Amino acid sequence: MRWIYVLTEALKGLRRNLMMTVAVILSVTVSLTLLGASLLLSEQVELATDDWVGQVEVSIFLCDGRTCPEITEEQREQLETDLEEHQVVEEVFYESKQEAYDRFVELFSDQPNLIESVDADVLPASFRVRLQNPQLFAVIADEFAAYPGVEEIVDQRQVLDQFLRFTNVIRNAALIVAVIQLVAAGVLIANTIRVAAFARREQTSIMKLVGASNWYIRLPFVMEGVFAGVLGALVSWGLLWASVPRVAAQLRQEIELMPFIGASEVIAIGPLLLASGAGIAALASVLALRRFLDV
């Protein structure tokens, strides 16, 4: 019976302060949506990084006579043999000038002016080397940079690292904003509970006179905050579940070579959002009652 009383009083309190309750729910929704989005972005970055790292290649560009003596056929064959026999190399691909140009045309097919400004002689031939461990780029660079006919050795991780730094900045910014919003939601919850408790001060005074404990008096107010927090978490979870898989599916069609998160990842963060909503609401409610009300 006691828990029925607590729950009933909490629901009545939510109805009495309907506008404040809606404001709390919306505040928690915004906060937890940002938090969930930052967590999902983090998972997306990790998923893409694991996939990309496995595909990272080392490009060994060969001299074509413009900046260094053109590589001979014997030198090219010897370089290819040494690469294939190297213990850290998994696979070696040779890309001729014409093949490099064809790939360039395919990549920039939507920019005809750029394609017209480049011909096959401008792009150097290269070896594209896939390593067993992409972290061992320095081994290849140190050993083959001085080979005759080698112009430059480029590690694709440099481009990947730049992208990861950019995504990390976005993720951290979203996380910071989410934390600030959660603090603001906690303050709003605390003020709402203060208003509710002040409106029922006569009722709580009577309960004190008949011997009710402090926690028995406080629990309905705390449950009000928890209900609002959980509702906000459910709404934010629903928004993420309705939007993220659809956006990921659209991107998956446009970017076929990149893995994307789906509904399972959104479902997985649901318990965390619910726990965060309930936790921040409960903490704010308890602090509001202990700090501002003598009950």
Structural domains of the chain sorted by starting position, each given as residue range(s) with its CATH number in brackets: 2-52+161-292 (no CATH), 57-155 (3.30.70.3040)
Distance CA 65, CA 87 (A): 31
- The sign of the torsion formed by the CA atoms of 225, 228, 234, 237 equals negative
The residue count for the chain: 295
Burial of residue 54 (number of CB atoms within 10 Å: 0-12, 13-18, 19+): exposed
Burial 260-274 (b: 16+ CB within 10 A, else e): bbeeebbeebbeebb
Q: Which of 153, 90, 155 is nearest to 124 (CA)?
A: 153
Confirm if 101 and 117 have CB atoms less than 8 A apart.
no
pTM of the model: 0.62
Q: Which of 190, 173, 264, 174 is nearest to 224 (CA)?
A: 190
H-helix segments, 155-213: 157-199, 201-209
Cα radius of gyration (the chain): 31
Helix (H, G, I), strand (E, B) or coil at 58: strand
pLDDT tens sequence for the chain (295 residues): 466 655 666 566 666 667 777 877 888 888 888 888 888 887 887 777 666 665 667 888 888 877 788 888 888 889 889 888 888 888 888 988 888 888 878 877 777 777 777 777 778 888 888 887 766 777 888 888 888 888 888 876 666 666 667 777 777 777 787 778 778 777 777 777 777 666 666 666 655 665 556 666 667 777 777 888 888 899 999 999 999 888 888 887 777 667 788 888 899 999 999 998 888 888 887 777 775 455 4
Distance CA 169, CA 172 (A): 5
